[in-house]
Amino acid sequence: MKLTTKHGLVEEFELLLRPFMQHVYRMHHQYREIKSKKDRLEKNEMLIQVDFSENYVCKYGEESQGMHFGASKVQLSLHTGVHDVASETNVETGNIRVTSFASVSSCLDHGAHAIWAHLTPVLSKLTQNHPEVDTIHFVSDGPTAQYRNRFNLFLLACYLQTHCPLWSNQLEHLSSVATTDN
């Protein structure tokens, strides 16, 4: 336990306050921009918001004592997301229909290759169900190393060339998306 004076507490608080307020500002700005993008989706656009959940430890309904006391239990990784499609707007309310999706895997890796293992079947289904969509906006609040990196950009380009040849001519616009060189 760290002991301090009132003055020391105030100094520590002031040191932490500025980075915290910057974080809060960025968070509010990002949410405002996402909402704005959702509100302005065109009929040919889709917004997909994705994130990995934590890894989960499986538990049996009934366990032997050995399982209860430290036995290796199976873990699963959950990759969740939602997609908004402007062509599914409710005429009466004006609200865009939001559909959730999730995939479960025993692979606990959250790297770019794992992301695309999760996203490939989702994107295949979405492109089948929504042939009118020619623009997809990806959003994630996940860490930069997880989503916004050159490996994801490369795998996206490979996916587009294989599954969506009409979209692959748009790849030059993707270079500005990768914000880091991880």
Q: Strand 45-57 to strand 75-89: parallel, antiparallel, or no bridges (unpaired)? A: antiparallel
In degrees and rounded to multiples of 5, residue 37 shows phi and psi of -65, -40
Q: Where are the domains of the chain?
A: 42-176
137-181 residue pLDDT tens: 888 776 555 666 667 667 677 766 665 544 444 444 444 444 444
Q: In which region does residue 152 sit, left (phi positive, over 0), alpha (psi from -120 to 50) or beta (all else)?
A: alpha
56: Cβ contacts below 8 Å, ≥ 6 apart: 75, 76, 77, 78
**What confidence score (pLDDT) does residue 177 get?**
47
pLDDT at res. 13 = 92
Range in 101-105, 125-129, 142-146, 167-171 the model is least confident about: 167-171
Res 91 pLDDT > 60: no
Give which of 130, 139, 178 is closest to 35, Cα–Cα.
Answer: 139
pLDDT digits (tens, 9 = 90+) for 62-82: 666 555 565 677 788 888 888
At 34, the amino acid letter reads: I
Phi/psi at 55 (5° precision): -75, 140
Higher per-residue confidence, 132 vs 15: 15
